[in-house]
């Protein structure tokens, strides 16, 4: 994808990939193996991941990062000079700040936004649809996920305006031109010795391959190396280049919980590994692969590692979940609310055969074939049933939350403004109603009547736009005052998150019932197979073509 700093990229990459090769061959940062003994991870199964651990460094000009090695070690800072030569400096502490470099004259920047989405999955589907119509697109994440007209292809004002003109003639109303004028460009600033440097890209390594990063009052240690690089939004990303099996140490205990039953931890490990490898394309526009938040998987470096997770990583080493010899879309959530959701109930895109609607219980207390949950009567009865499902002891299995009309109006208007909806600026919600629901009970369309018109929220947008829902598995109850005036709504629901694939709390129940991790995975991803990772599995069928 387009890099505004491509002039230094080739020189920088040579050293970076050399370091990566060394990392893969020499370190996984796992503790000494316990039973069962396993061979060291191979280069193929322990590939280097590029994880954006601070995605928008410099978005606020007061941003500050402090990097340190472990005691007795030193940092090596590598960067390209203006003449193309490579500089290497050493220090025991590196403080990174942002400094603006004034431009000789204002510099306009613009790009075409084709669509706006709550999730990567739906954004990628939209990008594929644009590509099928001849518009080369890229998926970005300036805040929400967006689809942009590819900046390498539509690289002049004339091309961008011609594209918009053609789209409007074809009846498209959503695309728009985003523009800004720059009076200065940011640089990453740091001081070593008596000299201050201002650069676009840095690589930071340490002898022990452990670097502590302090930001916003928290210090987190990371294995591998760090890179500071520009992204697509005018600021920078701190990227951790880390071997897969080391990365999992910072994911598994934070996702499944440090005290989870062991076979549930093993299941989570396989899914986390599969998810990472399946999703390496998520941040292609920014030249890294994954993030460290819930938009990907929670990753906290080498903080909070636990023996149970480390053992699960070793005993499942290199294993991934596949369907028809392809990596599965290894989606998972905290809780399904008693029924798993098909992919297409949450996102736009092709159905995944292994992501199905099924009652989340070893012995289902509800017959989904006889009583699907696409009616309001059925969903109310289902959510009123609180026994017999996996994960019933979780606080998010069943929930109730309420909000006033004033609060809901503010939520919705923020959403409309953020997505540049023509109805932005509403003053009041008049009525809310579920007008379409899937057999898994998930809301497909939530219709909201406002003072300016009707807003329809589809699938996961119903959760994205409003504060109360913890999932899209809910129904509404109006709140009325003594005069029978509508004052708000109560949201009565189940589960936490999208409900697709593995139910993390549910896996606790199955593990305690004696299920092994292969059985847990087969329950939540029926028809799939466990197999050792191979590079040929890396091309997912949903990927959009590169420009």
Per residue, the 3-state secondary structure of 203-270, as one string, reads EEEECCCEEEEEECCEEEEEECEEEEEECCCCCEEEEEEEEHHHHHHCCHHHHHCCCCCHHHHHHHHH
In angstroms, rounded to a whole number, what is the distance separating the alpha carbons of residues 87 and 79?
Answer: 5
Say how far apart CA 389 and CA 131 lie, in whole Å: 42
* Contact criterion met (CB below 8 Å) for 136 and 105: no
Place of tokens 């400096």: 89
In sequence order, what are the beta bridge partners of 478? 489
Query: Which burial class, exposed, middle or buried, applies to 306 when counting CB atoms under 10 A from its CB (0-12, 13-18, 19+)?
Result: middle
> What strand order describes the sheet that includes 529-532?
326-327, 319-323, 529-532
Give the total residue count for the chain.
547
Q: Which residues, at least 6 apart from 344, have a Cβ–Cβ distance to it below 8 Å? A: 350, 351
CATH class of 102-183: alpha beta
Total Cβ atoms within 10 A of residue 488:
19
Contact of 206 with 69, CB cutoff 8 Å: yes
For residue 3, the model assigns a pLDDT of: 31
Residues 6+ apart with CB under 8 A from 69: 75, 92, 206, 207, 208, 210, 211, 212
User: Would you give the DSSP letter of residue 29?
Assistant: -
State the residue for tokens 């959760």. Answer: 463
Q: What are phi and psi of 304, to 5 degrees?
A: 70, 20
Q: What is the pLDDT along the chain (547 residues), one digit of tens a residue?
A: 333 332 332 223 333 333 333 333 333 343 333 333 344 565 566 899 999 999 999 999 999 999 999 999 999 999 999 899 999 999 999 999 999 999 999 999 999 999 999 999 999 999 999 999 999 999 999 999 999 999 999 999 999 999 999 999 999 999 999 999 999 999 999 999 999 999 999 999 999 999 999 998 899 999 999 999 999 999 999 999 999 999 999 999 999 999 999 999 999 999 999 999 999 999 999 999 999 999 999 999 999 999 999 999 999 999 999 999 999 999 999 999 999 999 999 999 999 999 999 999 999 999 999 999 999 999 999 999 999 999 999 999 999 999 999 999 999 999 999 999 999 999 999 999 999 999 999 999 999 999 999 999 999 999 999 999 999 999 999 999 999 999 999 999 999 999 999 999 999 999 999 999 999 999 999 999 999 999 888 865 556 666 5
If residue 509 lies in a helix (H) or strand (E), which one and from where to where?
Answer: helix 504-512
Dist CA 324 CA 350 (whole Å): 15
Domain ranges of the chain: 102-183, 350-500
Cβ atoms of 301 and 214 closer than 8 Å: no
Distance CA 479, CA 488 (A): 5
Peptide bond into 338 cis (omega under 30): no
Among residues 332, 324, 290, which one has the least CA distance to residue 537?
324
At 544 the pLDDT is 67
Beta bridge partners of residue 226, listed in sequence order:
204, 240
State the Cα–Cα distance between residues 531 and 321, nearest whole angstrom: 6
Contact 252, 265 (CB under 8 A): yes
Is the distance from CB of 521 to CB of 507 less than 8 angstroms?
A: no
């Amino acid at each position: 994808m387009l890099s505004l700093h491509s002039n230094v990229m080739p020189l920088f990459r040579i050293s970076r990939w050399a370091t990566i090769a060394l990392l893969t061959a020499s370190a996984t940062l796992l503790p000494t193996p316990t039973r069962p003994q396993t061979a060291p991870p191979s280069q193929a199964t322990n590939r280097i991941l590029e994880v954006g651990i601070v995605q928008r460094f410099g978005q606020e000009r007061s941003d500050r990062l402090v990097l340190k090695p472990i005691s007795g070690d030193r940092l090596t800072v590598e960067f390209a000079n203006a003449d193309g030569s490579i500089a290497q400096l050493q220090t025991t502490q590196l403080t990174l700040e942002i400094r603006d470099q004034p431009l000789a004259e204002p510099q306009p920047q613009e790009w075409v936004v084709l669509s706006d989405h709550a999730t990567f999955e739906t954004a990628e589907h939209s990008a594929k649809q644009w590509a099928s119509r001849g518009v080369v697109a890229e998926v970005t994440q300036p805040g929400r996920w967006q689809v942009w007209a590819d900046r390498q292809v539509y690289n002049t004002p004339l091309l961008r305006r011609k594209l918009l003109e053609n789209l409007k003639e074809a009846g498209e109303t959503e695309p728009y031109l985003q523009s800004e004028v720059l009076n200065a460009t940011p640089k990453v600033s740091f001081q070593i010795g008596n000299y201050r440097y201002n650069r676009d890209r840095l690589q930071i390594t340490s002898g022990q391959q452990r670097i502590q990063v302090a930001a916003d009052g928290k210090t987190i240690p990371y294995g591998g190396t760090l890179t500071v690089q520009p992204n697509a939004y005018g600021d920078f990303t701190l990227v951790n280049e880390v071997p897969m099996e080391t990365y999992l140490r910072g994911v598994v205990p934070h996702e499944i919980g440090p005290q989870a039953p062991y076979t549930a931890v093993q299941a989570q490990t396989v899914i986390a590994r599969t998810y990472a490898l399946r999703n390496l394309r998520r941040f292609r526009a920014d030249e890294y692969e994954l993030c460290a938040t819930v938009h990907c998987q929670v990753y906290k470096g080498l903080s909070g590692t636990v023996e149970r997770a480390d053992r699960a990583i070793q005993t499942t080493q290199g294993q991934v979940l596949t369907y028809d010899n392809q990596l599965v879309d290894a989606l998972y959530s905290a809780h399904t609310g008693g029924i798993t959701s098909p992919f297409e109930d949450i996102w736009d895109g092709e159905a995944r055969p292994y992501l199905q609607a099924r009652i989340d219980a070893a012995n289902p207390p509800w017959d989904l074939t006889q009583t699907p949950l696409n009616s309001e009567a059925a969903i109310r009865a289902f959510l009123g049933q609180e026994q017999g499902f996996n994960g019933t002891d979780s606080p998010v299995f069943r929930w109730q939350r309420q909000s006033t009309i004033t609060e809901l109006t503010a939520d919705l208007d923020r959403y409309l403004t953020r997505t540049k909806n023509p109805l932005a600026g509403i003053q009041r919600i008049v009525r809310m109603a579920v007008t379409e629901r899937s057999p898994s009970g998930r809301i497909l369309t939530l219709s909201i009547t406002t003072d300016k018109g009707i807003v329809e929220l589809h699938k996961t947008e119903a959760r994205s736009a409003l504060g109360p829902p913890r999932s899209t598995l809910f129904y509404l109850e109006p709140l009325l005052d003594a005069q029978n005036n509508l004052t708000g709504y109560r949201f009565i629901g189940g589960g936490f998150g999208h409900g697709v694939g593995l139910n993390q709390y549910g896996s606790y129940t199955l593990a305690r019932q004696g299920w092994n991790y292969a059985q847990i995975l087969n329950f939540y991803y029926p028809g799939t197979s466990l197999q050792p990772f191979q590079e040929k599995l890396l091309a997912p069928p949903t990927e959009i073509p590169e420009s």
